[in-house]
Amino acid sequence: MKKILIINAHSSKNKGDAAIIISMIQSIQKFIPNSQIIVSSRYPEDDDLYREYGSEVVEQLTRFPNKNHSFLKRLTFLLKELREVNKFVKKGIIPSTRSSDIFNYYKEADIVVSCGGGFLYSHPKYHIEASLIMHLAQIYFATKLDKEVITYSQSIGPFRSSLSKKIANFVLKKVKNITIREDLSRTFLNDIGISNPVIVGDSAFSMIADDIETKELIDLDQQKFNVGVTVRQWRFPGHENVDQLYSNYIEAVAKSIEHLVNNYNANVYLVPQVTGPTPIEDDRISNSNVWEKLSDGVKGSVIMLDNDFTPQELKAIYSKFNIFIGTRMHSNIFSLSSHVPTVAIAYEPKTTGIMKMLSLSDYVLDINEITTQDMLNTIDKCIAEKENYRIDLTNKIPVIKNEAEKPARMIKSLIS
């Protein structure tokens, strides 16, 4: 039985991240049915969900320092983690304070798979984030153990500081098989001297959710024009006036909802795509921020969902909407893969890149520059073109799903 270790996982409370892992497991099991899959997670206590798909769940090799601790305490923790893991790689010594599971799986794995997502990047101009170091370290130590390593449909970059570029180049040049989600990642990789990545799209496009009964999840009035919306607490990294930018964004979403209710007689559903693991990542808070901006006459047509849905449940729910407006990128992927016309609000290049890949750049709004009028115009265009939009998706998505499974086929080839 082949052992496949998936590393760099975040938390299944982020349903986009969960969909990535679930779709990876489904695709790997499809092409390598007798494999043992192990998921190494930053929050293993959150991720029993993956056990339902036959996977083991363990902690990460290099753990992340607590964000609430002082800089010195976080730095001390980071250096201690790297030092202890390096001792394990060189001498096989497992730290006495750690579970042996993750260390043994690193030794036994037939291949190490850096999971899909968008976590290999660095925004600061003059330094590098601890999170990037710890993510890259998990990949680096796998290469030091002479393991076959593959990145599974990732968004990689940008790297803004010279230090982050050097460290990313040092690690990623040791990875022979790099698959990415969109063309922008190729540009960022070329910028740090990494060439020939394979573009495969996002793995979540291939997630199977066909057996979910939506009537038990959401009560839709089929006589109404139903619109789904996802909102997030974005903090606009690299900008100084973050409170004003966030207020502009929330205001544009609220005004768009008012427009949909007043002009299209719509029912609008505010859906929590992500519910943790920390409060800043909980979409129910940002949904409340939008709700507070709505007029009393509109609120009767706006439904705030607060359930902690699974990724498959969310995809099934989104498939029932007439159109979708999403800030969370994977909420857009769930709706697009269900052939639902979608307006995307891009907070990072990965959203812009994936919409461009689908020739849908006309339906993308930059969260940093968003205005109410631009958003209304884009929504009106989406509604006017919704039938052609849906037909276009019906033709494109099967091809995209096939491409999304390509890394799993590559894994089969690499370990066979």
Same domain membership, residue 132 and residue 105: yes
CATH number for the domain that contains residue 336: 3.40.50.2000
d(CA 197, CA 177): 7
Whether 281 contacts 269, CB under 8 Å = no
| Predicted pLDDT of residue 46 | 87
- Residue indicated by tokens 């990542």: 281
Same domain membership, residue 390 and residue 263: yes
Same domain membership, residue 228 and residue 203: no
pLDDT-derived band of residue 219, with 50, 70 and 90 as boundaries? confident
Among left, alpha and beta (phi > 0; psi -120 to 50; other), residue 78 is alpha
Same domain membership, residue 194 and residue 100: yes
Same domain membership, residue 317 and residue 407: no
Which residue range forms the structural domain that includes residue 257?
Answer: 214-400
| Predicted pLDDT of residue 173 | 97
Same domain membership, residue 112 and residue 239: no
Is the pLDDT at 211 greater than 80? The verdict is no
How far from 255 is each of 232, 291, 329, 393, CA to CA, in Å? 16, 11, 21, 28
Lowest-confidence region among 101-110, 276-285, 294-303: 276-285
Same domain membership, residue 155 and residue 127: yes
213-241 mean pLDDT: 90
Whether 133 contacts 92, CB under 8 Å = no
User: H helices then E strands: how many in the chain?
Assistant: 15, 14
pLDDT tens profile 109-156: 999 999 999 999 998 888 888 899 999 999 999 999 999 999 999 999
Same domain membership, residue 155 and residue 16: yes
pLDDT tens profile 249-265: 999 999 999 999 999 99
Same domain membership, residue 244 and residue 176: no
Whether 205 contacts 404, CB under 8 Å = yes
pLDDT-derived band of residue 68, with 50, 70 and 90 as boundaries? confident
Same domain membership, residue 369 and residue 339: yes
Same domain membership, residue 168 and residue 281: no
Same domain membership, residue 338 and residue 233: yes
The pTM of the full predicted model, rounded to 2 decimals, is: 0.88
Structural domain total, the chain: 2
| Predicted pLDDT of residue 366 | 97
